[in-house]
Structure 1
Amino acid sequence: MANSRYEYVRNRELPDPLLPNAYFVVRIDGRGFHKFSKHYDFAKPNDLNALNLLNAAATAVMRQLPDIVLGYGVSDEYSFLFRRRTELFDRRASKIVTTVVSTFTAAYTFLWPQYFPDRPLVAEMLPTFDGRAVVYCTKKEIRDYFSWRQVDCHINNLYNTTFHALMDKGGMSNTDAEARLSGTVAADKNEILFSQFGINYNNEPEIFKKGNVAFRDLKKLVEGEEQPENLKLEDMNLDKEFSSKNAKAKARRRIQKAEIVVQHVDIIQDYFWNERAPWILADE
């Protein structure tokens, strides 16, 4: 860039690096999505097509950014966990967040016709998302973060399922349904669903109750290699020390080839972390 007397304005751009050698999560949320979902007539309390679109957009983000090791989404939000020692964009928060948000929004908009072919987007009502980056220094904090999001998913879904049952099946108004559920706990809502409408909440689809867990199936990748004895899960950990830059680049390319799967499983208990994806919070 040529020097000029106006170049001083570059000094107003302040550095915003995220804490080094620490995990961080980028969480995106739909902006004005209540109005958006109403305009496009999303099914209530859950729209399966909308959730599948959400997952498709999240998968597109993870495919572009191999430094993301886990995603979790529900409703109109998605959380992306980055590996602890990533140097993506020199860990600049603004560049990372805007890249995630813009990639997600572009994918969501581009893929929309596949999931809502009879409801084309209009310029006055386009999907938009905001985002933030939050640093977590320990594995426990990461586990607690994703447990928090999944518990939130369960609480909201149980409430919404009961709320809409009272209106759609029970004939209540919005105000009456809110009043009926005021002060109730989970057991009360389960009882309302079962005794009044014959709905066993335990039989509701797992995607609604547990949300969406997106990750690279590196175990499947390793087991699918022609010589699996020469490739171990530890080789998929980009945070470990590599013998050369070429070796690390090769590992990164291999990771990008891995299938990104979306499952609807419990991520509060130990099983997922210990058995399904031990590389997500891998040690050095």
Structure 2
Amino acid sequence: MAKSKFEYVRNFETEDYLLPNCWVVVRVDGKAFHKFSKKHDFHKPNDVRALELMNKAASVVMEEYKDILIAYGQSDEYSFVLRKDTNLYNRRRSKLMTYINSLFSSSYVYYWRDYFNDVKLKYPPSFDSRVVLYPSNENLRDYLSWRQADCHINNLYNTTFWALVLKGGLTNAEAEKRLCGTLSSDKNEILFSEFNTNYNNEPVMFKKGTILVRKKIKHPVTDKNRLVILPLHEDLIQDTFWTTHDEILNIKSCGHYSVPSSCDLPRLVMSQLHSFKEKKEDTN
């Protein structure tokens, strides 16, 4: 194909390759989601619909990019961890960041009505993203621990704040003043003594966020093993999580996960199992 005289402008483009042998984390974060959640009447202090929609959007990203070994989400953010030896898009920062962010954002809008079927999307949400490299397993674990600790701190504050506002009758400004300078123990005491709420009994997803991992589970109908993206609400700061799910840091094949008989499969998993059935029917 003949070249035009204008093609020289490509020389101004630069490639931004990431360092090799480092864990790659792409963190997606909602822009002005305080305003967005207020405009769409999110439940306070936590809206299960919103959190599950975030998990759905994140699972779509993980389904598309197999090099993502684990993802962690809380509130309006999600962190995607790509294997340290990934060569996806030749490790170009801008490609990884923009593709993951755009797929997450479009999926959030695409699946909105599945979770907010009675709420019309009033304007498109937007997310920023960044790429951070972590050279060691310890660095990566500390990063994820930081995000989970942040989830706990913010949720305890928000739970207490909205109890003071919605149940205690305080204004937002009065609630902020009441909580200024308080410790975790103070907030727990306010919840327990004034609102008969034991913070330890709050849903684990609110306190710990959501961890997405790849696991093989037995299909409840066919009894065949299926590889799914599984949402977990566990403590990932302690060693127990990383020992149980050692395939993540060791970059091994996905392990099996036995769903407790007393628990129903999460909606996110059921939708994946349903898609397996649809794909099979399409091929017949």
TM over 0.5: yes
Which residue in the other structure is 2:108 paired with? 108
C-alpha distance in 1 between matches for 2:145 and 2:215: 21
The alpha carbon displacement at 1:214 in A equals 0.4
What secondary structure, in the 3-state scheme, does the structure 2 residue paired with 1:258 have? strand
Q: Which runs of 5+ in 2 are unaligned?
A: 253-284
SS in 1 for 2:111: helix
Structure 1 residue 283: Cα displacement: 6.1
> Matches of residues 1-284 of structure 1 in structure 2 within 5 Å?
2-122=2-122, 125-218=123-216, 220=217, 258-275=227-244, 277-282=245-250
- Alpha-carbon distance in 2 for matches of 1:64, 1:139: 24
Structure 2 SS opposite 1:281: helix
Stretches of 4+ aligned residues off by more than 6 angstroms: none
Partner SS, residue 164 of structure 1:
helix
Corresponding letter in the other structure for 1:263: L
TM-superposition CA deviations, 1:152-192 (whole Å, max 9, x none): 00000000000000111111111111111010000000000
For residues 172 and 32 of structure 2, the distance between their equivalents in structure 1, rounded to whole angstroms, comes to 20
Please state whether the residue corresponding to 1:44 is helix, strand or coil: coil
Matched residue count: 249
Identity across matched positions, percent: 53
Helix, strand or coil for the counterpart of 1:24? strand
3-state secondary structure, aligned to 2:146: helix
Alpha-carbon distance in 1 for matches of 2:148, 2:106: 26
* CA distance, structure 1, for counterparts of residue 69 and residue 149 of structure 2: 21
In the superposition, relative to structure 1, how do residues 109 and 205 fare at CA in structure 2: closer, same or farther (>3 Å)? same
Q: Distance in 1 between matches of 2:2 and 2:233?
A: 53
Give TM-score, length-normalised by structure 1: 0.84
For 1:148, the aligned partner's letter is: W
SS at match of 2:71: strand
Instruction: Give me the TM-score of the superposition, normalised by structure 2.
Output: 0.84
Q: CA RMSD in A?
A: 1.7
User: What displacement does 1:279 show?
Assistant: 1.3
The answer to whether the 8 A contact 2:83-2:251 is kept is no
Structure ranking higher on relative contact order (CA contacts 8 Å, 6+ apart):
1
- For 1:170 and 1:134, the matched residues in 2 are separated by 42
The aligned amino acid for 2:248 is I
Q: State the 1:225 CA deviation.
A: 10
Instruction: Identify if the C-alpha distance between structure 1 residues 24 and 225 changes in structure 2 by more than 3 Å, giving closer, same or farther.
Output: farther
- 1: CA distance, partners of 2:94 / 2:48: 32
What is the DSSP-based 3-state SS (H/G/I as helix, E as strand, rest coil) of the residue aligned with 1:171?
A: coil
TM-aligned CA deviation for residue 2 of structure 1: 3.5
3-state SS of 2:192 partner = helix
